């Protein structure tokens, strides 16, 4: 049944070309041998009725607006993530279930809240250590590909591999949160052409994440379709500090059919579609710095 749950998530992510899954999909779940198996319950630790003892999923809620990210965002020095007990009783049946998962090395799914209504699923994850003094478990994330080979636990190098994968998963979590917040601020449409297919939208950094001010915050992001994201990154088009679009001169002068005309040239001088809330709108100083790069490239 756990393999069926992993395959279900793999299919949902592939179908939607997404990294995240909606609350509705997780609550609805899938059918296994004639029984419905939801993947998310009212509490963080969830065991569907068809499983006898060990939970199938653990979940963390998305951070609240204006609040810092929850405790599980950063991998500890041992390459694991913290996961809180259910309540304060170590013998609560859900905590006992996770302790059993340690003994049996059972793989679980970790549903990490991104924004309200969307979760980033990670699997297989393992509960590797119990810390009753601090009412926490330690969680380690393994690699999909290794799991698919049948090397579920105990293989040589598993600890080092899982530590690496867990750290990478934390980076992926931050990027997924950035994408969801930017797309939500821009009402899930491209700020240039208004395309509304979220599978074709990217959260584009104004200043890159390697820049000292390139933080993954909404004011350093733009919701762009894949065409306009690529054009922005390659300085084919630029965005002025007044949030109007400039197309590079050689592109404006080029003659190459309707796609060039309507996909790029036609947006010369047009205003961006902006978020409703001023705090989510592009930082004008960031736009100015990025626009200088566009001018140099032209």
At residue 73, does pLDDT exceed 50? no
CATH number at residue 128: 2.30.280
Q: Which residue has the higher pLDDT, 256 or 152?
A: 256
* pLDDT score for 179: 94
Phi first, then psi: give them for residue 110, nearest 5 degrees. Answer: -110, 115
Which domain range does residue 284 map to? Answer: 188-297
Tell me, what's the pLDDT at 145? 74
**pLDDT tens, residue by residue, 220-258:** 999 999 999 999 999 999 999 999 999 999 999 998 888
Q: Confirm if 245 and 267 have CB atoms less than 8 A apart.
A: yes
Whether residue 132 has pLDDT greater than 90: yes
CB-neighbour burial class of residue 170 (10 A; exposed 0-12, middle 13-18, buried 19+): middle
Residue 103 phi/psi, 5° resolution?
A: -60, -40
Q: Are residues 102 and 140 in the same domain?
A: yes
Distance CA 183, CA 196 (A): 10
Report the SS3 class of residue 231: helix
88 shares its domain with 207: no
* Of 176, 158, 78, 71, nearest in space to 122 by CA: 176
Q: Does one domain contain both 65 and 210? A: no
Q: What's the domain count of the chain? A: 2
Mean pLDDT lowest among 66-70, 117-121, 128-132, 216-220? 66-70
Q: Does 134 share its domain with 199?
A: no
Q: What is the pLDDT of residue 207?
A: 96
In b/e form, how buried is each residue of 129-164, taking b as 16+ CB within 10 angstroms? ebeeeeebbbbbbbbeebbeeebeeeeeebeebbbe
In this structure, the chain runs to a length of 298
Report CA 76 to chain centroid distance, whole Å.
20
> Confidence band (pLDDT; 50, 70, 90) for 184?
very high
Same domain, 177 and 201: no
For 20-66, where are the E strands, in sequence order? 21-22, 30-32, 35-37, 45-46, 57-60
Is the pLDDT assigned to residue 152 strictly greater than 60? no
Q: Which two tokens stand for residue 80?
A: 């694991």
Q: Of 217, 20, 14, nearest to 112 (Cα)?
A: 20
179 and 241: one domain? no
Task: Please report which confidence band the pLDDT of residue 171 belongs to, taking 50, 70 and 90 as the band edges.
Answer: confident
């Amino acid at each position: 049944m756990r393999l069926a749950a992993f395959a279900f998530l793999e299919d949902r992510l592939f179908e939607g070309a997404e990294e995240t899954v909606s609350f509705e999909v997780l609550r609805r779940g899938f059918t296994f041998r004639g029984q419905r198996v939801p993947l998310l319950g009212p509490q963080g630790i969830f065991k569907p009725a068809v499983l006898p003892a060990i939970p199938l999923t653990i979940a963390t809620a998305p951070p609240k607006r204006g609040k810092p990210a929850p405790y599980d965002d950063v991998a500890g020095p041992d390459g694991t993530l913290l996961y809180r007990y259910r309540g304060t009783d170590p013998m609560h049946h859900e905590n006992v279930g996770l302790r059993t998962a340690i003994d049996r090395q059972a793989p679980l799914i970790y549903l990490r809240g991104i924004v309200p209504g969307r979760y980033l699923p990670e699997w297989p994850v393992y509960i590797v250590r119990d810390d009753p003094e601090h009412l926490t478990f330690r969680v380690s994330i393994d690699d999909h590909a290794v799991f698919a080979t049948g090397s579920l636990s105990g293989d040589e190098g598993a600890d080092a591999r899982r530590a690496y994968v867990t750290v990478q998963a934390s980076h992926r979590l931050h990027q997924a949160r950035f994408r969801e917040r930017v797309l939500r601020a821009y009402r899930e449409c491209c700020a240039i052409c208004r395309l509304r297919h979220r599978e074709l939208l990217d959260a584009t950094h104004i200043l890159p994440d390697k820049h000292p001010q390139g933080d993954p915050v909404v004011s350093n992001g733009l919701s762009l379709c894949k065409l306009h994201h690529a054009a922005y990154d390659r300085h084919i088009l630029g965005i002025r500090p007044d949030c109007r679009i400039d197309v590079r001169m050689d592109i404006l002068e080029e003659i190459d059919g309707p796609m060039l005309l309507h996909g790029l040239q036609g947006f010369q001088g047009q205003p961006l579609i902006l978020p409703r809330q001023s705090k989510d709108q592009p930082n004008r100083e960031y736009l100015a710095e990025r626009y200088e790069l566009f001018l140099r490239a032209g």
